[in-house]
Amino acid sequence: MRISYRKPEDEDEDQMTDAERRRAEFSKGIGRQEEDGRALAKRLGWTVTKVIPEDDTSAYKRRKIRLPDGSTGLRTVRPGFRAALDMLASGECDGLIADDLDRVARDPRDLEDLIDVVESRRPRIPVESVTGSLRLANDADITVARIMCAVANKSSRDTARRVARKHEELAQEGKPGGGGFRGYGFTEQYEVIDDEAKILKEIGARILGTWDGWTDEQRAKINPEVGESNKSIAEDLKRRGVPTVTGAAWSGRTVGSAISKPSVAGLRAHKKEIVGKATWPAIIERPQWEEICIRLAARAGTTDLTLQRWLTGALRCPSCKHMLTGSHGNSGPRYWCSTPNGGCGKVAIKAEPAEEEVGNQVVDLLSRPKVLYRLQRVATAEVSDEARTELAADEEQLKELARMWAKREISFGEYTEARNIIEKRVKESRALVVSVAPRILRGLLAGDVRAGWERLSPADRREVLLTIIPGYDVMPHDRSRGNKFQPERLRPISRGE
C-alpha cells in the first residue's frame, strides 16, 4: 500500500514544517513516476494490475539476515521487490514496468534474481522502463543492465562513503547531522523548545527522586535511591495531556528514550558513541544527565551504551593539559584531544586497547594486599566527613591569605611561607577525600576483584579508576615503531599535579 501525504485544503502551505514539506514533495514524486509508468503501459497496450511503489525502501542498503541454510549474510530487504518476482514467477503477472533501472536494482544480486525469473519462461517475460535504461529482452540487454547496475551500485557506495565522512566531520564539530525525526526538546534546527525542555527536566528530577512537584503522600512512596518509575511518569504525562513528538501516547520506553539522548546534555553522538560537546545548548547538564542514564541502566540491568568510552575525563593531553574525550576516528573508536572542546588535536589513542590496558592496571593495583588494606581502612564516612571539613577550612584560609597579601597586610615572604604550609595540608586532605572508597569500590573489594571489574558498567569503572588514580597522561605515539598499540604511552598522573 502506498502511503501518501495530502495537505488539507484549508492548510496554509507556509505553515508546514520542513519535514512535512519534504514528505509532500516526495509523495508528489512517487505519484509522477506512477503516472509515467501508466502512460508507458498504455502505449505498449499493457494492462496495469498491480502497483508496487517501495517509496520507503532502499534498493542499495543491505542488512544482516539469516539465510535459508541457517547462515547469515548481507542482503537488501525489499518485500515489494520480492513480491513482484513471485508474481512474475507464478504467472500472476506477465510483465514488469519500472521508472528506471536504479529503481529496480542497485544490488547486482537483486538484478540477477530478476534475470533468473525473466529467463525462466519462453518467450522471456517482458521488462520495460520509462527511461529506457532497463530491458531484458536479449543477452545484449542483460549485459548492459548488469553494467549499469554495477555503475549504480558504485555510485551508491561513493555517495554512502561521502555522506558517512561528512557525518563524521559534523559529529567532530558538534554540529547536527540532519535527517530523521526531531528529538524531544528541540526543533529540527536544534533550538530548545521551552515547554518540552521543562518536561525533560521534570522527567530527570523524577527519575533521580528530587522532583518538587510530588505531594507529601506521593513523595513518601518514592525511594530516593531508585526514583519514580518510567511507567508511572508516562501515565502522569498522559493524564496531563502532554504531547510527544510523534503524537503517540507516552510509555515507559518513550520516557527513557527522550531523557537518555546525548543531545539533551548538549552532547554530540555518532554511531551510538559520544564524540564531544554539541553546538546547541544543554537542557540538562552532563553530570546530572549521566546520573540519570546510570539509574536507568541500573533499573534495566543493562549497560549504558552512551557511556561506553569510560576513560573520558581520565586521559589527559600532556601538551595542552586538556582531557581527552571519546570519539570515532577513521580507524575506529579513539580518545582524542578534541579541538572543538578546546584541545590541541595533537594526541589521540585507540579506545579499546587503552581501556583494556587501564583496566588490567586497575585490577592489578586493587589485587595488592597493601592497597586493599589502605583503601578498606579509609573507607569510612567519619574519615571522609572530617577530611572534607578540614579541606574546606584550609581552602577558605588560602583565600583569606591572598586577600591579606593583596591589601599589603603581610609581606610576600610571609604569604609564601604560610601558603606552603596550608597547601601541604590541602593536598593531604584532598588525597584522603578522593581515596575514600565509594559504594562501587567497596563492593569490588569485598570479592573477586577481576570478576567484579568485568561486571561493572562503564560509568562505574570510571568512578573506581578516578578514586585510586587521578588519570593518565597520553604521550605522543612513536611512529618509528609502526601503528601497534604502545602501553607505555599511558603514564599515571601523580596526586596534586
Beta-bridge partners for 325: 336
Tracing cell 595488592 back to the chain, one arrives at 368
CB atoms within 10 A of CB 8: 6
- If you ran DSSP here, which 8-state letter would residue 432 be given? H
**How high is the pLDDT of residue 351?**
87
- Domain C-terminal end among 280, 313, 336: 336
Task: Say if 183 falls within a structural domain.
Answer: no
C-alpha cell at 14: 507556509
Contacts of 318 (CB under 8 A, 6+ apart): 347, 473, 474, 475, 491
Q: Is residue 251 located within the same domain as residue 319?
A: yes
What average pLDDT does the segment 291-306 reach?
65
Question: Lowest mean pLDDT: which of 217-231, 314-328, 390-404, 435-449?
Answer: 435-449
User: Does residue 89 carry a pLDDT above 50?
Assistant: yes
pLDDT tens digits, 209-250: 889 888 888 888 887 777 898 999 999 999 999 999 888 889
What average pLDDT does the segment 273-299 reach?
84
Domain extent for 65 = 13-172
pLDDT class for 328, splitting at 50, 70, 90? low
pLDDT tens digits, 97-147: 998 888 888 899 999 999 999 999 889 999 999 998 999 999 999 999 999
- If one compares 441 and 34, the residue with the highest pLDDT of the two is 34
**How high is the pLDDT of residue 74?**
84
Q: Determine the longest span between alpha carbons in the chain, in angstroms.
A: 107
Question: Lowest mean pLDDT: which of 334-343, 378-387, 421-430?
Answer: 378-387
Task: Say if 464 falls within a structural domain.
Answer: yes
- Domain C-terminal end among 306, 336, 366: 336
Task: Say if 343 falls within a structural domain.
Answer: no
* Exposure letters 195-220 (e unless 16+ CB within 10 A, then b): ebbebbbbbbbbbbbebeeeeeeeee
pLDDT tens digits, 144-184: 999 999 998 898 888 888 877 877 777 677 787 766 678 89
| Sign of torsion over alpha carbons 260, 450, 488, 314 | positive
Residue 471 CA to residue 312 CA, distance in Å, equals: 10
**How high is the pLDDT of residue 34?**
87
User: Does residue 56 carry a pLDDT above 90?
Assistant: no
Beta-bridge partners for 487: none
User: Does residue 482 carry a pLDDT above 90?
Assistant: no
Q: Is residue 296 located within the same domain as residue 356?
A: no
Residue 246 CA to residue 254 CA, distance in Å, equals: 11
User: Does residue 420 carry a pLDDT above 80?
Assistant: no
Q: What Å distances lie between residue 189 and 29, 181, 182, 193, 400, CA to CA?
A: 25, 11, 9, 11, 48
Q: Is residue 199 located within the same domain as residue 328?
A: yes
Q: Is residue 199 located within the same domain as residue 288?
A: yes
* DSSP characters over 119-160: TTSSSPPPEEESSS----SSHHHHHHHHHHHHHHHHHHHHHH
Task: Say if 4 falls within a structural domain.
Answer: no
H/E run at residue 277: strand 273-277
User: Does residue 435 carry a pLDDT above 50?
Assistant: no
* Exposure letters 25-37 (e unless 16+ CB within 10 A, then b): eebeebeebeebb
Q: Is residue 101 located within the same domain as residue 213?
A: no
Q: Is residue 19 located within the same domain as residue 168?
A: yes
pLDDT class for 13, splitting at 50, 70, 90? very low
Q: Is residue 212 located within the same domain as residue 277?
A: yes
pLDDT tens digits, 442-478: 666 666 778 888 888 777 788 778 877 888 999 998 8
Task: Say if 178 falls within a structural domain.
Answer: no
Q: Is residue 299 located within the same domain as residue 418?
A: no
CB atoms within 10 A of CB 151: 13
Q: Is residue 292 located within the same domain as residue 315?
A: yes
Indicate which CATH number applies to the domain containing 216.
Answer: 3.90.1750
Task: Say if 273 falls within a structural domain.
Answer: yes
Residue 434: name the closest of 388, 492, 373 by CA. Answer: 388
C-alpha torsion angle, residues 106, 107, 111, 117 (rounded to 10): -130
Beta-bridge partners for 492: 472
How many domains does the chain contain in total? 3
Task: Say if 182 falls within a structural domain.
Answer: no
**How high is the pLDDT of residue 369?**
61
**How high is the pLDDT of residue 108?**
92
336 in helix, strand or coil?
Answer: strand
Residue 405 CA to residue 401 CA, distance in Å, equals: 6
User: Does residue 23 carry a pLDDT above 70?
Assistant: no
**How high is the pLDDT of residue 496?**
59
Task: Say if 186 falls within a structural domain.
Answer: no
Question: Lowest mean pLDDT: which of 265-269, 367-371, 372-376, 448-452?
Answer: 372-376
**How high is the pLDDT of residue 180?**
62
Q: How many CA atoms lie within 13 A of 428 on its CB side?
A: 10
Q: Is residue 315 located within the same domain as residue 368?
A: no
Radius of gyration of the CA atoms of the chain, in A = 31
- If you ran DSSP here, which 8-state letter would residue 345 be given? S
CB atoms within 10 A of CB 134: 26
User: Does residue 201 carry a pLDDT above 70?
Assistant: yes
**How high is the pLDDT of residue 329?**
59
User: Does residue 379 carry a pLDDT above 50?
Assistant: no
**How high is the pLDDT of residue 24?**
57
pLDDT class for 426, splitting at 50, 70, 90? low
Q: Is residue 324 located within the same domain as residue 357?
A: no
Q: Is residue 159 located within the same domain as residue 262?
A: no
C-alpha cell at 8: 488539507
- Domain C-terminal end among 304, 336, 368: 336
**How high is the pLDDT of residue 277?**
84
315-316 vs 96-98, strand pairing mode: unpaired
pTM for this prediction: 0.45
**How high is the pLDDT of residue 117?**
93
Residue 311: name the closest of 492, 440, 436 by CA. Answer: 492
Residue 351: name the closest of 271, 291, 294 by CA. Answer: 271
**How high is the pLDDT of residue 439?**
56
